[in-house]
Amino acid sequence: MVIKLKSLTELYRIGRGPSSSHTMGPESAVNLFKSQYPDADQFRAVLFGSLALTGKGHGTDRIIKETFLKPVAIEFDTETVKLPHPNTMDLYAYRNGDIIGYRRFVSVGGGEIKTVADDGMTIEDENQSESPEIYHENSFDEIKKYCTEHDIDIADYVFEKESSCGIDIEEFLSNVWQTMINTISEGLQAEGELPGGLHLQRKARHLYKSNHIDESPETRENRLVCAYAYAVSEQNASGGKIVTAPTCGSCGVVPAVMKYVQKRRDFSDEQIIRALAVGGIIGNLIKSRASISGAQCGCQAEIGSACSMAAASLASLYGMDINQIEYAAEIAMEHHLGLTCDPIYGLVQIPCIERNAVAAMRAINAVSLANFLTDTRKISFDLVIATMYETGRDLSKRYRETSEGGLAKLYTPPERTSDNRNDF
């Protein structure tokens, strides 16, 4: 099946954390559902799979209650295993005690939702956002061929395709970049404990302000990259405003790398916007050809994808050619293959926040390698996407955002009350 790429406005979404799959997606589903049943006086939501197992930690029940604004009963079904997607939810509308409506939704990652057919298993794309298929090329090889034949770079390719559908992608990406900058600034100023019961202290401000008397320039740069990534990720963990790049859980990687390189090399905002277009194509390819959902393919689909996006964006900023950009993105993803998603308490905190910082530094290193070794590479970006998807589907569900294995299972918790998981 040929899957066409949609607009980058479907990839970079501005919203509130902590999870694109578990809060932004369900919020969109609830808004759509309640608009179809305005006469309903109460609702019921049944959460399955990862939504059920980590929904409380991610704040899924909280966002559902806040969005419905009417009485709603929420059930967590952790037993049903035959599902169309790991993030599945059923919504029911009632009036005077009688069911007047029902729909099944899946939250496929990055805040995007899809509906399920009457058979309960077939995922349908009803084009909820009315976003058309923008790009006729559906692989990196096809995009590279198009760019070569028309003698344009990837950013120009994005602007051409998006504008042909009436989308002002430059203005959109300008808003995305400004939001990223604001999130970093807010995160660097914030202090205190993150919500959720882990008693995790914010670290971004400390990283940004602290320096050792013998600190080398390289160490200082690494510290700043990490501080930016922590700032965004901590804002996300506290329910702050962020940009999915491509998800909430991996939202700190791209802005950290872009902020670092702009500060270091004095790139203009216009140059950063072009770089975000390049990174967006990388994320779009992964989303359409594989997955950006941790519940479907593990953290490799989130942090790995973000690292690839950041590496491609950075390579384009440095003026590297399309083969070097591809290699940078491929290296970044390849070395995240098999990365599990096992968030403690189902919160987007441990190991999520730290992983954003590590991936930001890895993206920078990937670009350095690609600069020297592109002519020796053997693996294409399209191949590593396919490998990531196959690897993710083979991962035990215990390691796909269910908190049933790994760190989440083996972590010995401190004393913690049962009702503070949704303290956002």
| Whether the Cβ atoms of residue 49 and residue 88 lie closer than 8 Å to each other | yes
Q: Residue 417's pLDDT band (boundaries 50, 70, 90)? A: very low
- pLDDT, position 4: 76
By CB neighbour count within 10 A (0-12 exposed, 13-18 middle, 19+ buried), where does 23 fall? buried
Longest dimension (CA), the chain: 71
Q: In the numeric block, which tokens belong to residue 249?
A: 């859980």
DSSP 294-346: HHHH-GGGTHHHHHHHHHHHHHHHTT--HHHHHHHHHHHHHTTTT--B--GGG
Domain termination site, one of 106, 124, 142: 124
Categorise residue 216: left if φ over 0, alpha if ψ from -120 to 50, beta otherwise.
beta
Domain termination site, one of 124, 147, 168: 124
Q: In the numeric block, which tokens belong to residue 162?
A: 């998006």
Q: Are residues 309 and 364 in the same domain?
A: yes
Domain termination site, one of 124, 146, 162: 124
Taking 50 as the threshold, does the pLDDT of residue 272 lie above it? yes
Phi/psi of residue 137, nearest 5 degrees: -90, 135
Helix axes 352-373, 322-334, angle to 10 degrees: 140
- How far does the chain reach from its first CA to its final CA, in angstroms? 41
* Dihedral angle over CA of 260, 264, 270, 274, nearest 10: -60
Q: In the numeric block, which tokens belong to residue 387?
A: 């490998």
- pLDDT, position 418: 45
For the residues 218-245, what does the mean pLDDT come to?
Answer: 96
Q: Are residues 151 and 248 in the same domain?
A: yes
Q: Are residues 362 and 271 in the same domain?
A: yes
Q: For residue range 328-342, what is the model confidence (pLDDT) as tens digits?
A: 999 999 999 999 999
For the residues 169-185, what does the mean pLDDT come to?
Answer: 98
The span from the CA of 23 to the CA of 67, in Å, is 10
The residue range of the domain holding 386 is 133-410
Q: Are residues 81 and 203 in the same domain?
A: no
CB contact set of 291 (below 8 Å; sequence gap of 6+) = 108, 109, 297, 301, 389, 392
Q: For residue range 190-210, what is the model confidence (pLDDT) as tens digits?
A: 999 999 999 999 999 999 998
Q: Are residues 229 and 321 in the same domain?
A: yes
Q: For residue range 15-70, what is the model confidence (pLDDT) as tens digits?
A: 999 998 999 999 999 999 999 999 999 999 999 999 999 999 899 999 999 999 99
Helix axes 352-373, 217-237, angle to 10 degrees: 140
For the chain, what is the domain count? 2
Q: Residue 128's pLDDT band (boundaries 50, 70, 90)? A: very low
Taking 90 as the threshold, does the pLDDT of residue 3 lie above it? no
Would 417 be classed as within a structural domain?
Answer: no
Q: For residue range 64-112, what is the model confidence (pLDDT) as tens digits?
A: 999 999 999 999 999 999 999 999 999 999 999 999 999 999 999 889 9
Taking 90 as the threshold, does the pLDDT of residue 2 lie above it? no
Categorise residue 109: left if φ over 0, alpha if ψ from -120 to 50, beta otherwise.
left
Categorise residue 204: left if φ over 0, alpha if ψ from -120 to 50, beta otherwise.
alpha
- pLDDT, position 415: 60
Average pLDDT, the chain: 93
- pLDDT, position 22: 93
For the residues 366-392, what does the mean pLDDT come to?
Answer: 96
CATH number at residue 75: 3.30.1330.90
